[in-house]
Amino acid sequence: MRHVLFVALLMGLTACAGTDDLGRGKTGKSFMVQGRSYDQVWDAARSAVLEQTGDQALEVEKNLHIQREDKARGEIIASTGMSFLSWGEVVGIYIDPPQNAPMYRVEVESRTKMQTNVFANNWEDEIIADIKRKLAVQ
């Protein structure tokens, strides 16, 4: 019985996601933006992350917090803390190209910190909708 518990614990620990597991072109959703400057797209993405809150009533830690951002690379990495229902989530927002251009690809990737967590928020659709609203694009 102890061996089964040990194996289960090891499997759970190896199924964890952190901010280093995020990246362009992995599992996120994306959309295109045109007719806006890079600064406008960046500001909308950053603001959208900071304004997100979870939707589960028992959550203690509901907000996304920016862990690191690099405007020159077009990357914003954020995460939530643990709550009653979730080990938390990690989110990456990627803007390509990271300079003024006629069109940008904005990608949002959301992952749970623990793969077996079925109660965690998937922030992709909420953040994408908020960025589009801020930029007044479809």
pLDDT tens figures, 1-44: 555 444 344 344 444 455 555 666 666 799 999 999 999 999 99
Decide if 72 is inside a domain: yes
pLDDT bin (cut points 50, 70, 90) of residue 73 is: very high
Sequence-ordered alpha helix ranges (H) in 52-123: none
Parallel, antiparallel, or unpaired for β 75-79 and 89-96?
antiparallel
Q: Which residue is it, tokens 């938390």?
A: 88
What pLDDT is attached to residue 24?
A: 63
- CATH number for 34: 3.30.530
Decide if 7 is inside a domain: no
* Count of domains observed in the chain: 1
Range of the domain at 64: 16-135
What pLDDT is attached to residue 4?
A: 42
What pLDDT is attached to residue 1?
A: 59
Q: Which residue is it, tokens 């990627």?
A: 94
Decide if 4 is inside a domain: no
* Residue 75 pLDDT > 60: yes
Decide if 28 is inside a domain: yes
What pLDDT is attached to residue 16?
A: 45
Decide if 11 is inside a domain: no
